[in-house]
Structure 1
Amino acid sequence: MTEVIQIGNRTIEARELIPLLASYQMLPQLLRELIIDEAIAPIECTPEEIAHAQQQFYAEKQLTQEADIQAWMIHYGLTASQLETITLRKLKLEKFKQATWGHKLESYFFQNKSKLDKVIYSLLRTQDIGIAQELYFRIQANEQSFADVAREYSLGPEAQTGGLVGPIELNALHPAMVQMLSTSQPDQVLPPTRIAEWFVILRLEKFIPAQLDESIKARLLNELFETWLQEQKKQITSLPNFSDT
């Protein structure tokens, strides 16, 4: 029997599924989920963890009554067994991440700490070197405050905040700005420097070192997981018998 599903007047057969998934650009997502399923299959959960995961899932989906759960299952065409699998999937995935990379987090954090550190800084930018130099000297001589000069002359959105930017991770900044801010002291006004099409004046306001707190741990776990997942996908799609059609 080749029939898979009937939608309106259309019957979709098994041989049509892969071409359909490809045409709807859904094959990469399917591959991702299959890799995850295989990875988390051996993960075991305690009865307490299972109960908590189910409660959390129902709360997220706002399924407060048994009737709501049944209606949700019907809507997505799920059996009770499939629903249980779905409710546990997130928990199993987090346990897989922790078991696989949890012991590597501290070293990975210190390898990437310089990218995670944050800064608050003041910025003034113009496309005229003469104006940039004049404004720099005004600030240095205390003729005008950095904030006032930035509001009046800076050509970027920072003009709206008196030049103040951040907190922002160093990783998000232009490499030249990272170098300048990383080697300067708070309240030190740096002379005009050419970065791309701009002449910029910078002043470090505050350096905020990254800490390995829970939010950073979760972020780094996800980074390690996504790197692994992309490598798995690459290996599978490079196999001779893999086809997207």
Structure 2
Amino acid sequence: MSITITPSDIFKAVQISCQIPEFIEQIVTRKIIEEAAKKAGIKIETEELQKAADEFRLGNQLQNAEDTWKWLEKYSLSLDSFEELVYINLISNKLVNHLFGDKIDAYFFQNQLDYGGVVMYEVVLEDKDLALELFYGIQEGEMSFYEVAHQYIAEQELRRKCGYLGMVNRKNLKPEISAVVFAANPPQVLKPIITSKGVHLILVEEIVKPELNQNLARKIAADLFTDWLKEQIAQVEVIKQLEVQIN
């Protein structure tokens, strides 16, 4: 048995899976990037494109020509389409650097509190009185936080880790929690904190001060670029021509 798939079939599949808005946003985003790069006078040299293509192949473990051809076939890409893919990635990176490369330091120092982190453990209870009883029991040495976590956390994997959440960024915590957590003197078990989620019993192991390293600089640039794109997309009037003949 053989099945023929046409471009119309693909369009129909996208259409009935309700993915048209996502695809339109991707198209609009690409056009905005290309137009902004053109206005900024950003160009891609042949050597840059070749280097970016080599890095892309390396990143996707395409070790030789055969691997590359199989990958292109899998995603129905021609060599020209592959070059276009690499080009848009490269020009996007250059546009990010053009727009925000000299703004990252200032943004970080203005918002560095948002990039602080805390290494913490957490048990969420429903009963405030129970949480207080456990808190005072820990303070008096009758039990350890880890014993409490192992007994009262229902989710198996989290229980095995005794409520360990790893390093959590400040901006990912509820305001009522972050205010108390970042005033702690680690290692410290905090008095129960009530939120809409429940009663939080928290062990603060370490406060991690923000540091502007290469990874954070890339994240800040990506966040700034994402916000910029959202603003640009909001100003665009999209004229859709989606009349496709379905046979």
TM score, norm. by length of structure 1: 0.78
Distance (Å, rounded) in 1 between the aligned partners of 2:216 and 2:231: 23
Q: Which letter maps to 1:111? A: Q
Q: Describe the shift of the 1:183–1:243 C-alpha distance in structure 2 as closer, same or farther (beyond 3 A).
A: same
Change (3 A) 1:33 1:120: same
2-structure distance, mates of 1:185, 1:71 = 53
- Of the three residues 22, 25, 29, the one matched with 2:26 is 29
Deviation at 1:66, TM superposition (A): 7.9
Say if 1:177 and 1:156 are closer, same or farther in 2 by CA, change over 3 A. Answer: farther
User: Match for residue 64 of structure 2?
Assistant: 64
- The answer to which of 41-50 and 183-192 deviates more is 41-50
Compared CA separation, residues 149 and 94, structure 1 to 2 (3 A): same
Report SS of the residue matched to 2:211.
coil
The answer as to whether partners of 2:120 and 2:202 remain within 8 angstroms in 1 is yes
Q: Structure 1 residues 75, 135: CA separation in 2 closer, same or farther (over 3 Å shift)?
A: closer
- The alpha-carbon distance between structure 1 residues 35 and 128, as it changes in their structure 2 partners (threshold 3 A), is same
What are the within-5 Å matches in structure 2 for residues 111-190 of structure 1?
A: 111-155=110-154, 158-190=158-190
- Structure 1 residue 75, shift from structure 2 partner: 7.2
What is the DSSP-based 3-state SS (H/G/I as helix, E as strand, rest coil) of the residue aligned with 1:236? Answer: coil
Instruction: Tell me how far apart the structure 2 counterparts of residues 74 and 119 of structure 1 sit (CA, whole Å).
Output: 43
CA RMSD of aligned residues (A): 3.5
Matched residues in 2 for 1:184 and 1:147: separation? 19
The Cα offsets for residues 12-39 of structure 1, whole Å up to 9 and x where unpaired, read as xxxx9xxx79x75122221111112222
- What is residue 244 of structure 2 aligned with on the other side? none
Alpha-carbon distance, 1:56 to partner:
2.0
2:30–2:88: 8 Å Cα contact kept in structure 1? no
How far is 1:163 from its partner? Answer: 3.1
Q: Which has more radius of gyration?
A: 1
How far apart are the structure 2 equivalents of 1:180 and 1:215?
28
Once the two structures are superposed, residues 27-66 of structure 1 have per-residue CA deviations (whole angstroms, 9 ceiling, x without a partner) of 2221111112222333223454233113223433727228
Q: In 1, Cα distance between the equivalents of 2:197 and 2:66?
A: 61
Q: 1:49–1:139: structure 2 CA closer, same or farther, 3 Å change rule?
A: same
- Say which is worse superposed, 218-227 or 182-191, in terms of deviation: 182-191
Residue aligned with 2:43, SS: coil
- Please give the secondary structure, in 1, of the residue aligned with 2:27: helix
**What is the rounded CA distance, in whole Å, between the counterparts of 1:67 and 1:187 in structure 2?**
51
Higher strand share: 1
- The separation in 2 between residues aligned to 1:96 and 1:233, in whole angstroms, is 16
The 2-side partners of 1:84 and 1:44 are apart by 15
Which residues of 2 match residues 207-218 of structure 1 at below 5 A? 207-218=207-218
What secondary structure does 1:191 align onto? coil
Q: Distance in 2 between matches of 1:188 and 1:33?
A: 49
Q: Give secondary structure in 2 for the equivalent of 1:184.
A: coil
Using CA pairs under 8 Å that are at least 6 residues apart, name the structure with larger relative contact order, 1 or 2.
2
Alpha-carbon distance in 2 for matches of 1:67, 1:152: 51
2:53 pairs with 1:54:
yes
1:185-228 per-residue CA deviation (whole Å, 9 max, x = no partner) reads 11232222322252222231101112111111111111111111
Other structure's SS at 2:102 match: helix
Cα distance in structure 1, aligned partners of 2:183 and 2:67: 62
Q: For structure 1, list consecutive stretches of 5 or more residues without a partner in the other structure.
A: 1-6
Tell me if structure 2 keeps the 8 A contact 1:63–1:69: no
> Aligned pair in 2 of structure 1 residues 171, 73: CA closer, same or farther (>3 Å)?
same
Shifted more, 177-186 versus 163-172: the winner is 163-172
Moved more, 167-176 or 95-104: 167-176
**What is the letter of the counterpart of residue 30 of structure 2?**
E
Identity of aligned residues (%): 23
